[in-house]
Structure 1
Amino acid sequence: MKPLPSLDVLKTFLVVAQKLNFTRAADVLNLTQGAVSRQISGLESHLGYGLFVRQARGLALTPNGAMLLAPLQQAFAQITEALEKSGAQSGTLRVKCPTCAMRWILPRVIRLQNERPELVVEVTAAVSHGVEFNAEQFDAAIVFGQPTVKGVTIHHLFDEVLTPVCAPGLWKGKKGRAATPDDLADKTLLHPTRDRRDWLRWLEAYGYRGLPSTKAQHFDTLDLAISSAMQGLGVTIGDLSLIEEDVRARRVITPFSLCVPSGAAYYLIYPERPAPSAALQQFAQWLETEAAQTRANLSGYLQAA
């Protein structure tokens, strides 16, 4: 007996059968047209018969393809229903989160689970800022930047606002005047990105050209840069939305009053289909409330600055 084709390949067949066009199916599946075509060709070779007739203006199902379609649609519907039921009973939500946002979400999730032990949220940190729900086993994700995934529900959480950040003991500004970028000349600049774009964006908004210091260290994530700044190793660019609790606790200080919106933001996203479970809807509503408080705190901070 032949081994069964993978569920991913069978799902590709179902989407192609619905769209009868490789390009439109590729858009739905977030794959390239070539990848979809190769999956269908591989499935036809595995089965030993054709599934589609290639025509000038699209595709048509062969008799064998049409015979296969209905049972597979029913099977996938049963799988979806089973997953929804098991997820609803367990109450476990799997959430993907970029490492930079862990500083914001993890204390809140721990507090949520202390208050709502029946709602289990498993947060997985990742260096990447995106998610592919078709290929990754997550119920939801926090993403940075404008979401590009199709077929998802999007909740805006908060915007990125940049300003220099360092440990309290590192900064010794001159009394009686506001800090300027010249005060950074003897400091090590900690860069959250290799291209130094965050520092350069903030300095440009200040009206300062170039970098005020030749001493620098580079990191792959904002979280690593902030952790190094907390240890007194230098001054980094921090996102005020993510470090509000660190600022309030005086683990870090923000020596400059200038805060620059980068134009990027953080979002909670999850698939539109299947319909979100009750647990996911409750989590999304709770997270929006937490984000609204962060936005309010940030607004008050900016006004005070």
Structure 2
Amino acid sequence: MKRLPPLPALHTFLVTAQHCNFTRAAQQLHITQGAVSRQIAGLEEHLGYPLFQRQARGLALTREGQDWLPRVQQIFALVEQGVREVGGRSSTLQLKAPTCVMRWLLPRLMEWQALRPDVPVELTTTVQHGVDFRHEGFDAAVVYGAVPNHGLQVRKLFDEQLTPVCAPSLLNGPLPLQQLQDLTRHMLLHPSRDEHDWRLWLQAAGAGFEPQGPKQHFETLDMAMAMASQGTGIAIGDWALIGDDLRGGRLCMPFGLKVTTGKGYYLVSPSKTMAAGLVELMEWLQERARH
């Protein structure tokens, strides 16, 4: 039986194949270009055929190299998965959440850490609204959208409720906000390019007009809220997420109408047998969402 090729040489092959360049591979691996070249040559000698064609402008995979690449990628993907799943998890809980929920979530996590320093939480933020626990090594996640129904452990935090928000200084400024038509005299801040949230609220309010005045778009809800708090314009916000801003006087609601969209925020976990610390965190966050 032929001896298996050494794992470090396979890793060097993987990185080199991704770049098709010895110099860039050496930079990523933090070794010399000569060391990369020697490892590849040794691997080729061990296998008995070349993996790369040396060309004037760099490298190209041979047919055998092309056949090897997906297999080596799979090997290291399995190793990475094993590190995550087989005794390699930190005692720190790994939580994923979209940026739109940060205004509510971050102060609660800071409060949790003060109460329970023995159950630390590492938060990863993303512009994505979902999670794929099959390929992402998180213990739990906050997701936004419809009710998740993929066999997950699901705890509802709150429904999305849209309402315009602005800095208190705008209410009685040079262009006071007293009726719906006054919105046309102010810049509207949109948390997305499609302007769907503003249109939905205006329709529910019976405004009879679509936003045609000055506008500005942002990549995230949090950015729109930040600009609104500075008096730049009026944003469409989620009432459930801005309670701290309202109580602190950074934002106010010029109109009382809150429109439920059918979407919401949910705390999800992939496992039915969760660690005690994770169960406590999820129950605590759900309880805080009720207040």
State how far apart, in whole Å, the 1-side matches of 2:235 and 2:105 are: 21
> 1:1-305, aligned counterparts within 5 Å?
1-2=4-5, 80=85, 82-83=87-88, 87=90, 90=91, 92-148=92-148, 150-172=150-172, 179-272=178-271, 275-293=273-291
Root-mean-square deviation (CA, aligned residues, Å) is 3.0
Identity %: 43
Q: Which amino acid aligns with 1:245?
A: D
Cα–Cα, structure 1 residues 208 and 215, in superposed 2: closer, same or farther, change >3 Å? same
Cα offset, 1:210, TM superposition: 3.2
SS in 2 for 1:138: coil
Paired residues in the alignment total 222
SS in 1 for 2:181: helix
State how far apart, in whole Å, the 2-side matches of 1:185 and 1:127 are: 30
State how far apart, in whole Å, the 2-side matches of 1:223 and 1:287 are: 20
State how far apart, in whole Å, the 2-side matches of 1:213 and 1:241 are: 27
State how far apart, in whole Å, the 1-side matches of 2:232 and 2:177 are: 23
State how far apart, in whole Å, the 1-side matches of 2:248 and 2:84 are: 48
- Higher Rg: 2
TM-score of the two chains, using structure 1 as the length reference? 0.66
Q: What residue ranges of structure 2 are gaps of 5+ in the alignment?
A: 11-66, 73-77
TM-score of the two chains, using structure 2 as the length reference? 0.69
State how far apart, in whole Å, the 2-side matches of 1:79 and 1:233 are: 45
Q: Which amino acid aligns with 1:161?
A: Q
Q: Which amino acid aligns with 1:121?
A: V
Q: Is the 8 A contact 1:191 1:216 kept in 2?
A: yes
SS in 2 for 1:250: coil
Q: Is the 8 A contact 2:170 2:177 kept in 1?
A: no
Deviations along 1:2-23, one digit per CA (max 9) or x if unpaired, are 5789xxxxxxxxxxxxxxxxxx
Cα offset, 1:149, TM superposition: 6.4
Q: What residue ranges of structure 1 are gaps of 5+ in the alignment?
A: 6-41, 48-71, 294-305
Q: Which amino acid aligns with 2:269?
A: Y
Cα–Cα, structure 1 residues 79 and 158, in superposed 2: closer, same or farther, change >3 Å? closer
Cα offset, 1:220, TM superposition: 1.4
Q: Is the 8 A contact 1:181 1:212 kept in 2?
A: no
Q: Is the 8 A contact 1:145 1:265 kept in 2?
A: yes
Q: Is the 8 A contact 2:199 2:211 kept in 1?
A: no
Q: Which segments of structure 1 move beyond 4 Å, counting only runs of 4 or more?
A: 2-5, 76-81
SS in 1 for 2:267: strand
- The answer to which of 99-108 and 264-273 deviates more is 264-273
Q: Which amino acid aligns with 1:264?
A: K
State how far apart, in whole Å, the 2-side matches of 1:78 and 1:144 are: 29
Q: Is the 8 A contact 1:162 1:240 kept in 2?
A: yes
